[in-house]
């Protein structure tokens, strides 16, 4: 009898050992340290209960678990080791992410060489005075801008400011030289809310009735620089917080009415108006948005490389060297873009066809001089030259090709992706759908031929 009892006890122990070491099902394991390297299981994958990067406030917590797999089977006996790239910002303890201090940390679940991670940005509270200093220690500013008389000045197409609030609403004072438009993006919304801006000074509630908490808000100047300039001041909210830093990928767009968004919300046969034009819905802004890039747009409707045509007293060679078409101080060229998209030549073609036929022969040299200036100011940028989105003049296209050839620069390319010309928007300009299509092609090019190299 005693032998039977001992045999039964030994059998139970063996079953327990098998259950403890087996991986054919079971629950999530989220221990604080991993197994000895001499005793590792053949884990092939780890999945987290949170599948996206987080933005938390100091003091917040968030539940998190990790599940280990051997092929498709859950392995409940694998003990996961949690690590943080910065333990002063965030750690995992007892199944929770703890937000400890402002900054960015990578939280990873690890077993042997298998790992799965997410980024955790922890925001800290800042003051209204911090925000209204317009320092990029506290807000993100996109595009060439400047501070004048304690106000943040926006001249350029799609100039933008991004800030974070803690609360339910945000207001700002805007002084606009003309009736214009803004587009407001909240918490990563890709469409944005288009709002009218009146000439003069007015307080605008750009966000309201939000859930009480942390929100990122971006205000984009949707009317191009030819038609309005803004002064922004007095951002007001219940409380403010810090933002994640802007992307390391920097893209500068240089162009004319196509890049500025002339009549891109209109339909064929519509005349141009401020109402049917939107700089935040161009191929340029949409490309930056798709790539989450830091961007700058220098564009003006009617502008030529060096000739004076629709714009009688300004060309792009001069405008690009200055802060803006309004501010004629010399620009500092401190943006240092990784990629420059130069999309100009449409107005030059019209000038050569309808005003001065001899200009076609001069264009190559004008484009070459401007391209040389761009390269001198941005020695490391990958330059993408584009022409033909509204149709192509062979002489202008050949001039661009010859100018690039004369540069003898392998980091300059011409029309590196296929696109169809389009004039089905308002004022015989490209439509919104064309801009969307081009942004996908350009973003894919930048990913494939620049970011992966």
CATH architecture assignment, domain 21-123: Sandwich (2.60)
**In which residue are the tokens 């401007």 written?**
370
CA distance 7 to 19: 18
CA distance 220 to 217: 10
Q: What is the pLDDT of residues 332-359, one digit of tens each?
A: 999 999 999 999 999 999 999 999 999 9
Query: Can you give the pLDDT of all 453 residues of the chain as single tens digits?
Result: 434 433 444 444 333 333 334 464 433 444 444 444 447 889 999 999 999 999 999 999 999 999 999 999 999 889 999 999 999 999 999 999 999 999 999 999 999 999 999 999 999 999 999 999 999 999 999 999 999 999 999 999 999 999 999 999 999 999 999 999 999 999 999 999 999 999 999 999 999 999 999 999 999 999 998 999 999 999 999 999 999 999 999 999 999 999 999 999 999 999 999 999 999 999 999 999 999 999 999 999 999 999 888 888 999 999 999 999 999 999 999 999 999 999 999 999 999 999 999 999 999 999 999 999 999 999 999 999 999 999 999 999 999 999 999 999 999 999 999 999 999 999 999 999 999 999 999 999 999 988 776
pLDDT of 229 reads 97
Residues whose CB is less than 8 angstroms from the CB of residue 119 and which lie 6 or more positions away in sequence, other chains included: 53, 54, 104, 105, 106, 107
pLDDT of 231 reads 98
CATH no. for 247-453: 3.40.50.1110
pLDDT of 286 reads 98
CA distance 134 to 126: 13
The candidate with the shortest Cα–Cα distance to 426, out of 280, 300, 310, 261, is 261
Please answer whether residues 377 and 411 qualify as being in contact, where contact means their C-beta atoms are separated by less than 8 angstroms.
no
CA distance 43 to 109: 13
| Equal fold, 124-246 vs 247-453 | no
CA distance 296 to 339: 11
pLDDT of 58 reads 93
Token pair listed for 363? 């264009």
Angle at 143 between CA 141 and CA 144, to 5 degrees: 105
Which is it for strands 250-255 and 339-343: parallel, antiparallel or unpaired? Answer: parallel
pLDDT of 453 reads 67
pLDDT of 4 reads 43
- State the burial class of residue 441 (Cβ atoms within 10 Å of its Cβ: 0-12, 13-18, 19+): middle
**In which residue are the tokens 């920097």 written?**
250
Residues pairing with 193 in the sheet: 184
The candidate with the shortest Cα–Cα distance to 22, out of 67, 82, 70, 80, is 70
pLDDT of 31 reads 44
Please answer whether residues 297 and 143 qualify as being in contact, where contact means their C-beta atoms are separated by less than 8 angstroms.
yes
Provide the H-helix boundaries in 214-304: 257-260, 283-290
Instruction: Give CATH superfamily name and number for 124-246.
Output: Galactose-binding domain-like (2.60.120.260)
CA distance 84 to 105: 6
Please answer whether residues 165 and 239 qualify as being in contact, where contact means their C-beta atoms are separated by less than 8 angstroms.
yes
- Provide the residue ranges of all domains of the chain, joining segments of one domain with +: 21-123, 124-246, 247-453
CA distance 372 to 366: 10
CA distance 86 to 121: 11
pTM of the model: 0.87
Angle at 410 between CA 416 and CA 448, to 5 degrees: 45
Neighbours of 95 (CB within 10 A): 15
Q: What is the pLDDT of residues 162-221, one digit of tens each?
A: 999 999 999 999 999 999 999 999 999 999 999 999 999 999 999 999 999 999 999 999
Q: Using CA of residue 187, residue 193, residue 198, residue 204, what is the dihedral sign?
A: negative
The candidate with the shortest Cα–Cα distance to 316, out of 331, 299, 297, 328, is 299
């Amino acid at each position: 009898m005693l032998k039977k009892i001992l045999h039964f006890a030994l059998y139970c122990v063996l079953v327990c050992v098998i259950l403890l070491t087996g991986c054919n099902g079971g629950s999530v394991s989220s221990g604080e340290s991993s197994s000895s390297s001499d005793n590792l299981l053949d884990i092939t994958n780890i999945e987290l209960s949170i599948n996206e990067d987080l933005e938390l406030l100091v003091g917040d917590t968030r539940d998190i678990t990790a599940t280990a797999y051997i092929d498709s089977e859950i392995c409940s006996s694998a003990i996961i080791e949690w690590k943080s790239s910065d333990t002063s910002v965030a750690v995992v303890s007892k199944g929770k992410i703890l937000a400890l201090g402002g900054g960015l940390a990578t939280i990873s679940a690890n077993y042997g060489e298998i790992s799965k991670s997410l980024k955790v940005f922890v925001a800290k509270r800042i003051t209204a005075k911090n925000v209204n200093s317009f320092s990029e220690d506290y807000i993100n500013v996109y595009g060439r801008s400047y501070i004048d008389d304690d106000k943040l000045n926006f001249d350029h197409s799609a100039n933008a400011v991004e800030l974070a609030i803690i609360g339910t609403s945000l207001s700002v004072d805007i002084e606009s030289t003309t009736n214009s438009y803004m587009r407001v993006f909240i918490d990563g919304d890709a469409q944005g809310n288009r709002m009218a801006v009146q000439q003069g000074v007015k307080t605008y509630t750009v966000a309201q009735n939000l859930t009480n908490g942390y929100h990122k808000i971006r205000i984009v100047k949707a009317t191009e620089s030819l038609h309005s300039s803004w002064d922004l001041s007095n951002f007001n909210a219940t409380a403010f917080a810090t933002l994640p830093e802007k992307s390391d990928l920097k893209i500068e767009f240089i162009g004319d009415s196509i890049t500025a968004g002339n009549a891109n919300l209109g339909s064929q046969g519509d005349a141009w108006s401020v109402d049917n034009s939107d700089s935040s819905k161009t191929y340029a802004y949409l490309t930056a948005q798709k790539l989450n890039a830091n961007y700058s747009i220098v564009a003006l409707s009617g502008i030529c490389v060096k000739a004076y045509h629709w714009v009688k007293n300004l060309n792009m060679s001069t405008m690009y060297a200055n802060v803006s078409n309004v501010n004629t101080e010399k620009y500092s060229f401190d943006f240092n873009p990784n990629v420059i998209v130069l999309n100009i030549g449409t107005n030059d073609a019209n000038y050569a066809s309808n005003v001065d036929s001899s200009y076609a022969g001069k264009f190559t040299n004008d484009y070459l001089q401007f391209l040389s200036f761009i390269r001198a100011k941005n020695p490391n940028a990958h330059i993408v030259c584009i022409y033909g989105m509204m149709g192509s003049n062979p002489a202008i296209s050949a001039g661009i090709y010859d100018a690039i050839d004369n540069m003898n620069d392998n980091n300059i390319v011409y029309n590196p992706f296929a696109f169809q010309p389009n004039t089905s928007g308002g004022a015989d300009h490209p439509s919104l759908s064309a801009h969307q299509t081009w942004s996908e092609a350009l973003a894919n090019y930048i990913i494939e031929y620049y970011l992966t190299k």
